Each structure stands twice: as structure tokens, then as C-alpha cells.
Amino acid sequence: MNSVEASLSVLPSISPRERLADDIANLLREQIIKGDIPAGTQLLQIELAQRLGVSRTPLREAFRVLERDGLVRISNGNKTVEVAELGVEQLRDTFQVREVTDGLAARLAASREVPEELLERMRTADAAMERATTDGNLDIVAFSQAHMEWHLLLLEASGNSQLKDFGRLVRISSHNLIMRNLDDEGHKAFDKAREALRRQDKADHKRILDAIVKQRPEAAEESACKHVARFIKHAEDVIAWREKNAR
């Protein structure tokens, strides 16, 4: 069994009732985020369709969803699908753009009457993040999905149709992929910092949401910018650590 086959062997079959593109995408997304399917792995459609017990039509649709999320790259006339190599420098650059877009989204949201239904969905996403970190255990996939959902809802709350187009940046940067750029020693070095970042998430989201509800645009923007800036700092720390330990 070659390395690609070994990577794909972790995937279970999908039951007939679950043969939807989103279900396939969710399954593959989980394996990619966990690192079970490494960056650079080529996903062969025929082999993968047989492995999952699905036809190639929903599989191709699932690949499009993952491409939108920045997790795979599709080329060669849709024939080649490869798990994306996302360098920490690219992720840092993405967060730098998000510092502006998230801040603007928060300010605009706090400048209007956001529907209660949308605010409740943001609270639900926060609750899902909380459940993903109960009892000292972290469900990284559930946490990443809920965190991504919260920030996509923030863009929606802005009421600005153009800002919604930045959703792809949210998806690319919400999957906790910074740490994938580190070896085992690097993971140990940054475990505490990463946990502190997650704990801060809850407080940051509460401040942003409170400012939106109270219609305080400046406070909402400042809190959102500071929130994203923490991830920029984390990425820069990882870059510095790698450079130092590469010497």
C-alpha cells in the first residue's frame, strides 16, 4: 500500500442515505483538518468514489466545496484534485486582510438593527465552540466549523453584500491550519499558546456581539480587529519559531 492509499484507508464508507455532496465534503474536511489526509495528497476520483461507495457526481461537488474552503486545489480541467499546501505565511496574509474586513463587518453590523434570528445563530455557534472544548478535550473539527460559522454570520450581519464575498477568506483561515506547519517539537512549543488563543475566542466573541447589540460601532470594530490580530501574532510567532529552529 502506497502513502496515498494509506491516507485514504482511514475513510469509512458512506451509507446510501448520506450520499450528498455536503456529507462527503464534511467527511473529507475532517480527515484533512486532522492531518489524516496530508497536504499534497492527490485525491483520485475513481479510487475515492469506490472507497466511499458513491458516484463521482456528488464527489466532484464535494471537491468544489472543499476548494471553496481552501482545503483542496483543482487543476488540469478538473482531473487533478490535491490537498492544498497552506503555508503559515499565506495564512498570516489572509488574517491581515481579515483584520480589516472583520473590523468593518462588526462596525457596520453595530450601525444597523441586526435581526434577532441572526444574532441567535451567532450565539448558537458560540455554544457549539463551547461544547467542542468540554472536559478538557478538544474536538478540533467541531470547534473550527463553529468558529468559521460565527465569522461568516458576522459578515452577514454587516448587511453589506460585498463583504459576504470575503467569506472564502474566513473559510480558508478558520480550520486551525497554522499548526499544520509545525513538526512534533513545534506542536509542543505552541500547545499552551494555542489553548490560550481558544479561551480568548469566547471573550472576544462576547465583546463583539455585545457591541453589536448595543449598537456601538467603534467598540465593535476595535474588538473584532483585536480578535483577528491575535491570530496574526500567533502566525508570526510560528514563522519566527520555524526560522529560528531551521538554523
Each residue's pLDDT expressed in tens, for the chain with a length of 247 residues: 555 565 666 665 555 444 578 889 888 988 887 778 888 899 988 899 898 888 888 999 999 989 988 889 898 887 889 998 777 888 888 899 999 999 999 999 999 999 999 999 999 999 998 888 876 677 877 888 899 899 999 999 999 999 988 888 888 787 666 766 667 777 787 778 877 888 888 899 999 999 999 999 999 999 999 999 998 998 888 888 888 887 6
| Helix extents (H) in 132-216 | 140-157, 161-164, 167-173, 184-213
* Domains of the chain, CATH where assigned: 3-83 (1.10.10.10), 88-245 (1.20.120.530)
**Neighbour tally for 12: CB within 10 Å:** 9
CA–CA gap between residue 92 and residue 119 (Å, rounded): 28
Helices 184-213 and 116-131 pack at an angle, to 10 degrees, of: 150
Q: Is the pTM of this model over 0.85?
A: no
